Every structure is written in C-alpha cells, then in structure tokens.
Amino acid sequence: MTLSHTNPSAVQAQRLTDDIASVVLEHNGQTIHLRLDPLVPEPALARFDPAYLPSQAQVVASGGRAAAWFVQLPSLDAVLRHFKRGGLMARLVRERYLWLGLERTRSFAEFDLLRVMWQAGLPVPRPLGAAVWRGRLTYRAALLTQRIPLARPLGQCSEPKVWLEAGRVIAQMHQFDVWHADLNVFNLLVDAQHKVWIIDLDRGCRKELTATQRAENLSRLLRSLRKVAPELEATCWHVFKQGYQEVYNDV
C-alpha cells in the first residue's frame, strides 16, 4: 500500500500533553488523524509510508503479516507497521476496520497503551506516532515505534538467565494490569545487553487481571514455545516460571 502524502492541509492541530501532538489532515477527500511524538519530523505523514525514500524502508523478515518495515528517522531507527487482518477475515477485508471512534482505532489504542507503559518504565519500545485514515464507516491504521537495536526473538534464546528475566518482565506487565493479546516468543525481544522487551501490544488492554487471565496469557506463550522451539521447554520454561513467581506465586 502506497500512501499519498503530498500537500495535505492541516485542519486541526493540538498538543495533548507537553510532548504529544494530535493533528487532523484533509487530503484527497479523506480525513487523516495523526498522534505524534516530537521525535517524528516533518513531513510527518510521509513517515507512515514505506515508499518514502528518506525512510530507507526494509521489510521485517518475520511477523507483521508482510506489513512491517524497519525505517530511518533523522534521529533514530524505527519500526513502521500497517495494521492488516489475519485469518479468514483477511480474505474479505485485508486492511480496513470498522470505525467505532478514534480512541478505539487499533493504532491509537496501541499508541496510548505503549505510552502509559513506557512512561511507567516498563520495557516497551517508545511509541512515536499513530495514523488513521478514516473513511465513512471504516478506517486504515499504522503505527511507528522506536526500534530495539540488535534484538532477537526470545524463541531464539537458549540462555536460562534470559528466560528468568523474561519471567520477571511478564510478571511486571501483569502487575501493571496489562493483558497482552498475542503473547508469544516473537513478541518478546532480547537486546545485546540481554534485556527483554515486550512488543506488539495490538488489541492489548489495561484492566484488573485475575489469576486465571494471567495463567491464560502464560499458556499462550508456552504454546508458541512448543510450536517454535520445543527443545527449549525442558531447559528454559521452568526458569521463566521461577522469574514470574518472584512476583506472583499463584500461577
């Protein structure tokens, strides 16, 4: 998908906080909503287009449903993701979602959740920008986040100390009452310093979590481990549980 971003006209701009701006654009008969961190330079709308040459976009090899790119901003590296459906629904509607209000769009909801977590010191990438292209009844969406350098998926790590830290990190996320909708070994990244990061909070939410909900989250992670790297279950999963149970011992 190539996004047209030439000469959009800003019809509304406001600063939500000291550093986050909300912009509404009118372009080619459609309304575009942007939520922007100050690290996103002008032309801001172009930064959500993988075809924008200064971004030097490179397709992310795994995940993202062929709709995620590593991109370059003047001051840092970032990840651009366009929201696309999976499963059977994707055969009918690939990249459009029902409009239920701006705050409930996939990109704005994830941006806001990431920002709350990032401000609280949880290990999530800094959210840089969210975009929504609104139609009459549907919308398209995209998200920019800061790239975690030299990161690899947890499923490619066999070091028990990393899995111990991963257990602690997920426990901290649950302690903060965040439920991850797709907790798997690709959505936990490990950087060069062995720090574990949580990514892809699409459809995640913050709510009071029960022990059952937390256990279901962990079961989803275990299923992905068994699918991707079953050889690691015997050596790493009990260590992960040990790290998790340092915070919660009821799961």
Catalytic residues: 182
Q: Is 82 helix (H, G, I), strand (E, B) or coil?
A: strand
Tell me the C-alpha distance between 73 and 9, whole Å: 22
Dihedral of CA atoms 232, 233, 235, 240 in degrees, nearest 10, equals: 110
Say if CB 170 and CB 218 are below 8 A apart: yes
Cα distances (angstroms) measured from residue 156 to each of 31, 63, 168, 190, 220: 42, 14, 18, 9, 17
Q: Is the peptide bond before 149 cis (omega within 30 degrees of 0)?
A: no
Return the closest-CA partner of residue 124 out of 67, 74, 197, 50.
Answer: 197
Our separate counts of H helices and E strands in the chain read 4, 14
Whether the CA torsion 174, 176, 177, 180 is positive or negative: it is negative
For 141, other C-beta atoms within 10 Å of its C-beta total 26
